[in-house]
Structure 1
């Protein structure tokens, strides 16, 4: 097990020895994060405002909160209500440094895997860049009719002014009193930061967790829940072909590969659909993937995020597991009201 995995495991089940070693570093990180936020709030560091409303969807955790499917759901719901929505993102994992406005032939190397996936799922105009204000202006230059921009991540990107903040918080961490800053824990900012956001979406939630969350956050009017819906895998080079587990023959083998923050969720989803995965391959989050990485099996399952990185010339035995988020109650209606105001 590599160091990253050891630390991530420590975040979920704290190790007393690691806590002693990492706690001083977490205090330093906390001071830096809090001081930086205060400088933006006081005006000593510059904040830039785009000419249209900005909705930031982010988290105080490091990865794996289920944010990206929620962004896709919110964008789609706003589009269904007639709102012209654009997306901006930093574009983690991409190789280009310049701002890139996505086109139909954009690649993950140009745009990053998650922005490209969002673009393909929603068809919303999308731009990526380290400077999200500059990315937003570049997007508006090509799409001046946009009415609102959704920033995928960027809750801590304070140089971009925002009109609405939405924080995604994992259900597994609701009620925990041992959460800490990096590197002793997975937090970028304190839990108290959530007092100042407009809405909190508890991801992978249920009714029982919502009751706990109302007590934990003490701001029930802000709370929404999200769940993930899993659908039958589709063939990557023929998306209209879907696969059911009972159609497999006894001698046929299945393998799965994932380059995401929490790959165990992907593997468990396949298991719940009835697929017996004999080989599991885990890659670092946002890492590049090619045909040489694929395990040998009759059926190879990959995530939508990884599928974006593969070329069109993939073999017939590669299947993609589609997931979609639901949000309760309907947050899009509330957002439209705030945007119109």
Structure 2
């Protein structure tokens, strides 16, 4: 039932059909309440805590995933390359504790969330999770006083934490039908102001420019982001690798040279189609298995699947690793991806931060 409703709304949110139109009056109410809430913080009626170091928010207004985690990882690396010492704060989807908690080497997705585990592993920087991001930021700075800039993974609408730079990320779905919840997929209208706009769909960036850019946007045209993945790594031994080109050749051998291999691709992310599209661009034509975002894999979705290779995202891999059956399944391979963005974006972000970065 939940899956059917999700499919129905996802379809309606990309067009202005009968259901979306029926819900439109409610979306006006939602939009008004969102604007009022933001206005209360902007006017100082509701208190937004300012941390002693600058804060960069990586978020979205389109409900669900648009590629924030790869962008956060890219930004952390870029800030470090500029001589800064970043830390990351996240809500930690599914985290058991409301109180701030550090993501350590032994932390599990069930304890702190899947994305924080991935960010900590990929960047090696301090990562804290907590429902109240300001409290998580204070805890991070207390434990790691060397940190001089905080990046928040998501939290664009968490106005209780003051921020110095806002980055809003879109993917190929753009703004959907342009309406806010529940008639559309947006948490806030596309006209929402921000410092930078990034589009995780390079081939559509020009077409989406007018749709995603707020009037008078200071940053001009959106910045292009591309997710690049060139290799697959066996889940049970990440040192065992093959290129996606090699896998594509094995999966579809030339005519007359035997049957190809059966490849299944599974993705429990906000927009599974993005992962499947990347694989197709690499020459792989997998059987697609879209899963709900943050899927925990305890239902053993691969147990009855006939496949020679099962390709999963790195976000899903951190949860599959916790399950012995998955960890020991030689068919499961991970496809890591990295964000590719013009380095000039990092330069502009650093320039905005310089005024607040502690000496």
Query: Same fold, TM exceeding 0.5?
Result: yes
Map 1:185-200; keep pairs closer than 5 Å.
185-194=184-193, 197-200=194-197
User: CA offset at residue 300 of structure 1?
Assistant: 1.1
Q: Is 2:325 the partner of 1:321?
A: no
User: CA offset at residue 339 of structure 1?
Assistant: 2.0
Mapped contact 1:225–1:329 kept (Cα < 8 A): no
Cross-structure match for 2:349: 335
So what's the TM-score if we normalise by structure 1?
Answer: 0.91
User: CA offset at residue 123 of structure 1?
Assistant: 1.0
CA distance in 2 between counterparts of 1:291 and 1:272 reads 30
Cross-structure match for 2:255: none
User: CA offset at residue 329 of structure 1?
Assistant: 5.0
Mapped contact 2:120–2:126 kept (Cα < 8 A): yes
User: CA offset at residue 124 of structure 1?
Assistant: 1.2
CA distance in 2 between counterparts of 1:261 and 1:185 reads 16
Q: Mean alpha-carbon deviation: is it higher for 328-337 or for 257-266?
A: 328-337
Cross-structure match for 1:231: 230
CA distance in 2 between counterparts of 1:42 and 1:187 reads 24
Q: 1:266 and 1:221, CA in 2 relative to 1: closer, same or farther beyond 3 A? A: closer
User: CA offset at residue 287 of structure 1?
Assistant: 2.2
Map 1:22-37; keep pairs closer than 5 Å.
22-37=23-38
Q: Secondary structure at the match of 2:94?
A: coil
CA distance in 2 between counterparts of 1:172 and 1:255 reads 24
Cross-structure match for 2:9: 7
CA distance in 2 between counterparts of 1:19 and 1:265 reads 24
Cross-structure match for 1:293: 301
CA distance in 1 between counterparts of 2:65 and 2:48 reads 28
CA distance in 2 between counterparts of 1:263 and 1:276 reads 15
Q: Is 2:68 the partner of 1:67?
A: yes
User: CA offset at residue 172 of structure 1?
Assistant: 4.1
User: CA offset at residue 67 of structure 1?
Assistant: 1.8
CA distance in 2 between counterparts of 1:214 and 1:35 reads 25
Offset from partner CA, 1:145-199 (integer Å, 9 cap, x none): 101000111111110011111111335427x7x40001111111112213xx111
CA distance in 2 between counterparts of 1:277 and 1:211 reads 28
Cross-structure match for 1:213: 209
Moved over 6 A (4+): none
Aligned partner (choices 260, 264, 269) of residue 269 of structure 2? 260
Q: CA RMSD in A?
A: 2.2
Q: Secondary structure at the match of 1:133?
A: helix
CA distance in 1 between counterparts of 2:122 and 2:41 reads 34
CA distance in 2 between counterparts of 1:230 and 1:140 reads 33
Q: Mean alpha-carbon deviation: is it higher for 104-113 or for 261-270?
A: 261-270
Map 1:1-341; keep pairs closer than 5 Å.
2-15=4-17, 17-173=18-174, 178-194=177-193, 197-206=194-203, 209-210=205-206, 213=209, 217=214, 218-219=216-217, 221-222=219-220, 223-243=222-242, 244-245=246-247, 246-248=249-251, 250=259, 252-278=261-287, 280-290=288-298, 292-294=300-302, 295-311=305-321, 313=324, 314=327, 315-341=329-355
CA distance in 1 between counterparts of 2:70 and 2:114 reads 13
Offset from partner CA, 1:279-325 (integer Å, 9 cap, x none): x3222111211482223422111111100112364122210111111
Q: Mean alpha-carbon deviation: is it higher for 246-255 or for 118-127?
A: 246-255
Q: 1:284 and 1:73, CA in 2 relative to 1: closer, same or farther beyond 3 A? A: same
Cross-structure match for 2:254: none
Q: 1:62 and 1:139, CA in 2 relative to 1: closer, same or farther beyond 3 A? A: same
Q: Mean alpha-carbon deviation: is it higher for 264-273 or for 45-54?
A: 264-273
Task: In structure 1, list runs of 5 or more residues that go unmatched.
Answer: none
User: CA offset at residue 334 of structure 1?
Assistant: 1.7
User: CA offset at residue 226 of structure 1?
Assistant: 1.2
Q: 1:25 and 1:172, CA in 2 relative to 1: closer, same or farther beyond 3 A? A: same
CA distance in 2 between counterparts of 1:275 and 1:55 reads 37
Q: Secondary structure at the match of 2:157?
A: coil
Task: In structure 2, list runs of 5 or more residues that go unmatched.
Answer: 252-257
Mapped contact 1:59–1:155 kept (Cα < 8 A): yes
User: CA offset at residue 274 of structure 1?
Assistant: 2.8
User: CA offset at residue 61 of structure 1?
Assistant: 1.3
